[in-house]
Structure 1
Amino acid sequence: MHHKDMTNTELTIAAYNNMAAQQDTVQSDPFRLHYHIMPPIGLLNDPNGFVYFQGQYHLFYQWNPFETKHGRKFWGHVISDDLVHWKQAPIALAPDQWYDKDGCYSGSAVVHKDTMYVFYTGNVKDENGIRVSYQCLATSNDGLTFEKKGPIIHVPEGYTAHFRDPKVFQKAGTWYMVIGAQTEDEQGAVVLYTSTDLENWEFIGPFAGSKMNGFGEFGYMWECPDLFELDGNDVLIFSPQGLEANGYLYNNIYQSGYVAGTLDTEKPAFAHGGFHELDRGFDFYAPQTTEDPKGRRLLFGWMGNAEEGDNRHPTIDHRWIHAMTIPRKVTWNDGKLLQQPVEELKALRQNKTTFQVVEGLEFVGSVFESEMLIQACHADIFSIVIGKNKLTYNRTAGTFSMERQRFDGRGIEARHCRLTNLENIRIFKDTSSMEIFLNNGEEVFSSRMFDDADETRIVFQADGQIEATVHKWDLQKVLA
């Protein structure tokens, strides 16, 4: 659909009209999730502008309201008091200005003097298909209506138009912005800007990237950078594109992970360790964090990835695709970043059952949380079969695997990680998704799954003795 000459209102009205026209089709989908943020219509991808403002959590997302493909992105918007119940807010940004006409791409939000400042990338393609990108600012006093201020940063020399996803934060009284970039010799990088007033920005320079800080070749583009301090470490989360699969590592088309160390914002310089993937599942990309009033570092990821071939989601027939992960609290422990579901999600629990695991034990459930506490594992191989999916811990090999049926029906695909011991498994299963947290969030697997049945059979299999307790809760439906 081409809406090139539409004003804001016409473009926004077209989106609302399409949403209204398709609402019955969308809502009739049995794969609509019960407690995950999803688009009311069309395609959702990156989380944007995650921020706490005037007593509520705000999350924006990359959104194409017209089709289930990537296209000219809007910013969709949801608001919550508690990270559990989310309400759709009015469309925040539409691609309706000369500097963002081909998409209001990803970005972030901060609060200053009771005003929300939203930073995003304006994507523009000229008549020859040449891309230009601008970092843009919009502000809001009520968190619902946004006034665009236009471009504040143009691409500096030495970089291609792949220059996007501004993430803004404050440190020692100064505002900083990190931007994902591609150098002219096609290496991924992250650059740093600084500002005293959020409107005038000064380029400091690149501080991390492919062929920097001891890295060899490490991707042709680094997307969605996010820089924050955790337990005395400077942590940079980013999504590198162009890594080759290496054994169990980098098995998705694009990756998401982090490096940690010490950042010197003056030079800038970043002494950091190796890259660690944040999630081992099939569907996780472009995560973004914020700090909330409780001092927690919270994270959302896009529960998707770049579409690969014919790995087609059945939800497309119902005119929508993709969702967010559940919100997670991020902590630092023993040199590693851990992710755990936020405490607030316990409000979803009902109908608790508890049982001891024995070989062949099974239960049914479609939307549930389960927590398995392992006291002793004498089995070499232990599996949990969940519908057409299988989780396997191989104690001898020191590995954990997730297998699922490919969406095109052509066989099984798998993801793995190394795991020397297994203490607990926490599973959040929704109608068409599963998030698995191992050892209190030491490893996480996030994946979409589309099994036929309303009720999923869960079966425990082991080739030896296991002493373990499972708690299981049904989870309430809170989103539509």
Structure 2
Amino acid sequence: MITSEEKLRKQAYEAVEKNKETVQADPYRQGYHMMPPVGLLNDPNGWIQWRGTYHMFFQWMPFHTGHGAKYWGHYSSENLVDWKLEPIALTPGDWFDKNGCYSGSAIEHDDKLKVFYTGNVRNNQGERETYQCLAESINGNDFVKKGVKAELPEGYTAHFRDPKVWKHEGKWYMVVGAQTLERQGAVALLESEDLEIWTHKGELAGPVEGLGYMWECPDTFELDGQGVLIFSPQGVEAQGIDFNNQYQTGYVTGELDYEAGKLNHGAFTELDRGFEFYAPQSMIDKKGRRLLVGWMGVPDQNEEHHPTIKHHWIHNLTLPRELKFINGKIHQLPIEEMKQLREEKLFEEVVGADLSKTLPRTAELEMDVDGSLSQFELHLFDYLSLTYSKETGYFTMERTSLATGNTESRSCRLIEGLQQMKVFIDHSSVEIFLNDGKEVFTSRMFAEPDERMVKVVHKGKERLKLTAWQLRNDAIDQDIHVNNI
């Protein structure tokens, strides 16, 4: 007799097969970013290197391009460049996760890959219930659910989700995104000796006045000797050029006191200044690098206007980034492996005036400045503009809003000036790293599919060097061999 889990998987695979031609015909399908085979992708989950292989799980709705009872999709990679779509990891088929296998994290223990996730449940009255659950695998692909390991502690609403688990000095710790009964965002901290019995130690951080009513997807770690907590608060008001997306993602730094269960931290800083970035997750790989991947999307932010919907898919993940803590700020740098995407150097020129070039829709553009620019513009495919003025210190990204057709912008201030920039272009996205990753702009970019023109407007005396490479268009293998499963 077929189980509910098997039935759900079969339905998801059928949705992949049914829509395969339509999805793959979309000119906005990415060349080297992880994306759903069909339907909606959101948060990265279970990001880990296990037995030498990198595993990236993700929130997945295979049946439509809206949110709902999420599955865990699964990619794997040997080199962080070539990604292979694996069989479904988790399906919402049990009483404790019947309305969604929500976000979570992965650890290695007892030679098994263990994933903790939130089981989302709506009871007969339509009220939300939340459970922190465990599943484990001996081969990295096939997971056995072990049920509920932590229930909702006192003092919180049922908006209690997204467990991130790690080990410190012989004990296991879990942070969970939370909302207090007073409807304020916080991060709860739980502790365990054996991954089975979890004790609530209190709030690691929060609430903080003005910092929202719910904190999602917490991730805490030490980076270059500094305690860091990354999270995504909902309900933060815009302040000038800061906090302009529907919901934010950022970090606080300070000293992590395990005995007290507290992070004594400073102010909240946005992690990415672009239009689409949310719910990132980090891990340490075998090289000792802290690597982060985010969702290139934001909940409730014009999702229904994305042009990919007519091709039955929406959203993708960012490139992996290496984190470093430099002079009091997190820097995000493209990982070294991204150079493996390069197929051909297109040009390398020293520019002293305006310049127009054609670029393929999978490309890398690097700019180095002799000194600091006075005034600069970069127009990508007649869709997105990047401008910088030394007089104001502002770097600004502009595009046409998908929802209104009006111009919208995001900005940061570069006190030290614009000295270096690296741009990764894919068919429908751009990731921009300024001054060795001190500031980052991540955005979807829906230029006309055949548009190729890139224009530099240089209004200063400084000389800058521009280098461009064509990047691979085939790094994501989405053949999951459904018929063999």
1:436-467 per-position Cα deviation (integer Å, ceiling 9, x unaligned): 00000000000001011424211111333231
1:161-204 per-position Cα deviation (integer Å, ceiling 9, x unaligned): 00000000111221111001000000100011111211221111
TM-score, normalised via structure 1 length: 0.96
Contact 1:427 1:435 in 2 (8 A): yes
Superposed counterparts of 1:194-273, under 5 Å: 194-211=191-208, 216-273=209-266
How far has the Cα of 1:377 moved from its partner?
4.2
Q: What is the letter of the counterpart of residue 388 of structure 2?
A: Y
2:145 and 2:332 map into 1 onto residues whose CA distance is 35
Superposed counterparts of 1:384-403, under 5 Å: 384-387=378-381, 388-403=383-398
1:210 and 1:202 map into 2 onto residues whose CA distance is 20
How far has the Cα of 1:359 moved from its partner?
2.6
2:261 and 2:406 map into 1 onto residues whose CA distance is 48
Picking from 327, 333, 342, the partner of 1:340 is: 333
Picking from 416, 425, 438, the partner of 1:442 is: 438
1:467 aligns to 2:460 (yes or no):
no
- Change over 3 Å in CA distance of 1:453–1:98 after alignment to 2: closer
Q: What is the letter of the counterpart of residue 273 of structure 2?
A: R
1:76 and 1:268 map into 2 onto residues whose CA distance is 33
Contact 1:108 1:167 in 2 (8 A): yes
1:60 aligns to 2:54 (yes or no):
no
Shifted more, 261-270 versus 329-338: the winner is 261-270
Q: What is the letter of the counterpart of residue 460 of structure 1?
A: V
1:132 and 1:408 map into 2 onto residues whose CA distance is 33
What SS does the aligned partner of 2:370 have?
Answer: strand
5+ long unaligned stretches in structure 2? 478-485
1:456 aligns to 2:449 (yes or no):
no
Name the structure 1 match of 2:188.
Answer: 191
1:349 and 1:393 map into 2 onto residues whose CA distance is 27
Name the structure 2 match of 1:33.
Answer: 30
Contact 1:47 1:288 in 2 (8 A): yes
* Alignment coverage as a number of residue pairs: 471
Q: What is the letter of the counterpart of residue 468 of structure 1?
A: L
Superposed counterparts of 1:357-436, under 5 Å: 357-365=351-359, 366-377=361-372, 379=374, 381-387=375-381, 388-408=383-403, 410-420=405-415, 421-436=417-432
Shifted more, 323-332 versus 192-201: the winner is 192-201
Contact 2:302 2:402 in 1 (8 A): no
Contact 2:73 2:88 in 1 (8 A): yes
How far has the Cα of 1:248 moved from its partner?
0.6
Contact 2:28 2:449 in 1 (8 A): no
What SS does the aligned partner of 1:376 have?
Answer: coil
1:127-184 per-position Cα deviation (integer Å, ceiling 9, x unaligned): 2210000000001110000000111111011100000000001112211110010000
Picking from 287, 301, 305, the partner of 1:308 is: 301
Contact 1:204 1:266 in 2 (8 A): no
- Change over 3 Å in CA distance of 1:54–1:473 after alignment to 2: same
Name the structure 1 match of 2:483.
Answer: none
Superposed counterparts of 1:52-201, under 5 Å: 52-201=49-198
1:288 aligns to 2:281 (yes or no):
yes
What SS does the aligned partner of 1:87 have?
Answer: strand
Q: What is the letter of the counterpart of residue 450 of structure 1?
A: F
- Change over 3 Å in CA distance of 1:227–1:32 after alignment to 2: same
5+ long unaligned stretches in structure 1? none
How far has the Cα of 1:469 moved from its partner?
0.4
2:196 and 2:97 map into 1 onto residues whose CA distance is 18
How far has the Cα of 1:378 moved from its partner?
5.6
1:236 and 1:13 map into 2 onto residues whose CA distance is 39
2:132 and 2:19 map into 1 onto residues whose CA distance is 33
2:349 and 2:292 map into 1 onto residues whose CA distance is 32
1:451 and 1:126 map into 2 onto residues whose CA distance is 44
What SS does the aligned partner of 1:20 have?
Answer: helix
TM-score, normalised via structure 2 length: 0.95
- Change over 3 Å in CA distance of 1:311–1:126 after alignment to 2: closer
1:321-379 per-position Cα deviation (integer Å, ceiling 9, x unaligned): 00000000011111110001111110011221201123320111121001100103463
Moved over 4 A (4+): none
Shifted more, 196-205 versus 441-450: the winner is 196-205
Q: What is the letter of the counterpart of residue 293 of structure 2?
A: F
Name the structure 2 match of 1:48.
Answer: 45
Contact 2:302 2:403 in 1 (8 A): no
- Change over 3 Å in CA distance of 1:411–1:311 after alignment to 2: farther
1:175 and 1:428 map into 2 onto residues whose CA distance is 37
How far has the Cα of 1:77 moved from its partner?
0.3
What SS does the aligned partner of 2:47 have?
Answer: strand
Contact 2:373 2:419 in 1 (8 A): no
Question: Identity of paired residues, percent?
Answer: 50
Q: What is the letter of the counterpart of residue 126 of structure 2?
A: G
Name the structure 2 match of 1:13.
Answer: 10
CA RMSD of aligned residues (A): 1.3
Q: What is the letter of the counterpart of residue 280 of structure 2?
A: P
1:299 aligns to 2:292 (yes or no):
yes
1:307 and 1:288 map into 2 onto residues whose CA distance is 20
Shifted more, 332-341 versus 402-411: the winner is 402-411
Contact 2:117 2:132 in 1 (8 A): yes
Q: What is the letter of the counterpart of residue 291 of structure 1?
A: I
